[in-house]
Amino acid sequence: MKKSKSQKRAQKQKQAKKTLATKQHEINRKKKVLKLPDFITCNECGGRAPNSTFEVLNTKGLDGIDLALTGICSECNSATIAISGDPEAASAMMAAFSEEMGEGKIGLEAVKLS
């Protein structure tokens, strides 16, 4: 059966609504990202990992950690981790990460986020 024009239009509207919802979702996501620093400093070369490369890590269940994120240095392409939270908890998380990634393979930075 061929779809009538009104059916087609309804479908289009549905699609538009979906697109809008996705956009709104992205805006919400970006709002969250805005709280992040503009960049984190690469521990390998001192370059910058811009927040467009950030990936927020799941820190649920990690006591004392407010936020942990990784970024890719725009200078040397190294992954850098920034952790915000209780200094002890942050250094413990960093230690766990360096063990996992192998020392020297990943730059770590403790950041203070407001």
Half-sphere exposure of 9 (CA within 13 A, CB side): 3
Q: Quick one: how far is CA 106 from the chain centroid? A: 17
**44 lies in the binding site for Zn ion (CB under 5 A):** yes
Restricted to residues 1-40, the positions that interact with Zn ion (CB under 5 A) are: none
**109 lies in the binding site for Zn ion (CB under 5 A):** no
Query: 59 or 78: whose CB is closer to Zn ion?
Result: 78
**45 lies in the binding site for Zn ion (CB under 5 A):** yes
Instruction: Using alpha carbons, select from 39, 79, 98 the residue that is nearest to residue 90.
Output: 98
Query: 76 or 110: whose CB is closer to Zn ion?
Result: 76
Instruction: Using alpha carbons, select from 78, 77, 70, 75 the residue that is nearest to residue 106.
Output: 78
Which of 62, 68, 73, 81: binder of Zn ion (CB under 5 A)?
Answer: 73
Count of other CB atoms within 10 angstroms of residue 36: 18
Summarize as ranges the residues that interact with Zn ion (CB under 5 A). Answer: 42, 44-45, 47, 73, 75-76, 78
